[in-house]
Amino acid sequence: MSPAFTARLAERTKGVTSSAIREILKVATRPDVTSFAGGLPAPELFPLDAIREAADRVLSGHGAAALQYGATDGVLALRQHIAEAVSDSEAGAAAAAGLGAPERLTPDQVMITTGSQQALDLISKLLIDPGDVVGTENPSYLGGLQAFRLHQARLIAVAMDHEGARPDSLASTVGPEAKFIYLLPTFQNPTGKSMSNARRLAVAATLAEVGVPVVEDDPYGALYFDAPPGPSLRSLVPDLALGLGTFSKTLAPGLRLGWIVGPREVIAKLTQLKQSGDLHSSTLCQYVALDVLRSGAMSAHLERLRAVTARGQTRCLQHSTSTSRPKCVSLVRRAACSCGSSCRAALRRLRSCPWRSRRRRPHSCPARRSIPTAAAATPCGSTSPTPRPT
Ligand SMILES: Cc1ncc(COP(=O)(O)O)c(C=O)c1O
């Protein structure tokens, strides 16, 4: 950068380095690397036909409206659809857990964002002043940490166990002065851990007791293999929670569409902040996503995603041996993520690997060495007080 710009950098941007995610993705796209590190959905599972047909219908049906500027909080019909869908899934989870039905969401409690990454940035803009405390799991999603750090938050790690964040640690490490706690109770990134119903209730009770808001990020919840996940923290403490969702893992990340659900006054404030960022998320993509949802193609696509990635995981587990991965890496996760294609690619390479049967030299094989994943990994010794992503 030229000295004229270097000398003028804003204080908050001075420490900003290139995102670790972007660095990971650079390596992940190399043909000789099988990477599980980024949350890259399997491209061969994108619903290309459904999206193509939806785009055709949108352009012939909505025409110019789909290409015009739109409302900052998003296309109303899409917000209505998300309000209904999230409310239905929350009601189902509550019933399965033996809880009463949570209050249903209305469209003014939903805001469309340009991916949930924008949601993390907007929430940081809304709540974080330099030096403010934000509680996070340890490890946690790199993109979230990056957004909070850019706004100069002081990150405090919450202790984890096999179910994720521990409620006792929430209470003892993150006091009422914290701006919020960032949690991923379902298929946590990067560990893949999920909270049981009891843990969700305990965490919600602690949040209510301490009075600290929670930002609940849930990009993978719809990709479960067996039973749907338990009740969202959002449904348990609606006044204290902002829930983040995205179409990146269920439809395609290139659409750049996500959402925030929460108290309507907070959504209204976030909408004001979004205006100065990008005016609104792509109108065309919103209409296309809405059409896919309405056409019924989405539920069939989700079934396929769950089935294909569950098979990929099973095969990957069968082929993984203790010699091909460090002890700290767990390949067991109960959700689909990017593993579908990555597992298949890894297995193809393993089968053609000349070292495959030479048990005494397992690490000599470069293909084997690249199999351990960060997407489902608990980093060795991840108990340091500062969150250590992936
Ligand atoms: C936990 C988590 N949050 C947010 C995101 C960002 O997703 P989006 O593509 O919706 O911006 C990701 C992407 O991998 C993620 O894993």
Same domain, 331 and 215: no
Assign 19 a pLDDT band (cuts: 50, 70, 90): low
Give the nearest ligand 1 atom to 114 CA.
11
Average pLDDT of the residues in 54-72: 94
> Is residue 165 domain-shared with residue 206, that is, in the same domain?
yes
- Judge if 70 and 170 occupy the same domain: yes
| 169 CB within 6 A, ligand 1 | no
pLDDT in tens, 307-349: 988 887 777 777 765 555 555 555 544 544 444 344 445 445 4
| Ligand 1 pocket residue status of 185, Cβ below 6 Å | no
pLDDT band at 77 (very low <50, low <70, confident <90, very high): very high
* pLDDT tens, position by position, 79-89: 999 999 999 99
Cβ–ligand 1 contact at 258 (below 6 Å): yes
With a cut of 80, say whether residue 279 has pLDDT above it: yes
Q: What is the pLDDT of residue 330?
A: 53
Do residues 56 and 136 share a domain? yes
Query: Are 147 and 121 spatial neighbours (Cβ–Cβ below 8 Å)?
Result: yes
Q: Which of 274, 295, 316 is the last residue of a domain?
A: 295
Of 262, 295, 328, the residue at which a domain comes to its end is 295
Please count the structural domains in the chain: 2
Q: For the segment 243-259, what is each residue's pLDDT rounded down to a tens digit?
A: 999 999 999 999 999 99
Same domain, 199 and 306: no
Q: Which of 136, 184, 248, 333 to mutate to test the pocket of ligand 1 (most atoms within 8 A of CB)?
A: 248
Q: Please report, for the domain that includes residue 120, its CATH number.
A: 3.40.640.10
Beta strands, E only, 35-126:
110-113
User: What confidence category does residue 143 fall into, taking pLDDT thresholds of 50, 70 and 90?
Assistant: very high
Q: Look at ligand 1, atom 7, and give the residue with the nearest C-alpha.
A: 116
Same domain, 250 and 335: no
Nearest to 75 by CA among 106, 104, 110: 110
**165 Cα to the center of ligand 1, angstroms:** 19
Is 113 in the same domain as 135?
A: yes
Q: In Å, what is the CA distance from 71 to each residue of 76, 78, 111, 259, 330?
A: 8, 12, 10, 14, 43
Quick check: is 365 in a domain?
Answer: yes
Q: Which amino acid is at 229?
A: P
Q: Where are the beta strands (DSSP E) in the chain?
A: 110-113, 133-136, 154-157, 160-161, 164-165, 180-183, 214-217, 241-246, 258-261
Domain range for 360 = 18-46+298-369
CB within 8 Å of 374: residues ≥ 6 apart: 24, 35, 36, 37, 190, 390
Query: Quick one: 73 and 88 in the same domain?
Result: yes
Calculate mean pLDDT across residues 212-241.
96
Nearest one of 245, 239, 190, 237 to 378, comparing CA atoms? 190
11 found inside a domain: no
DSSP assignment string, 164-209: EE-HHHHHHHS-TT-SEEEE--SS-TTT-----HHHHHHHHHHHHH
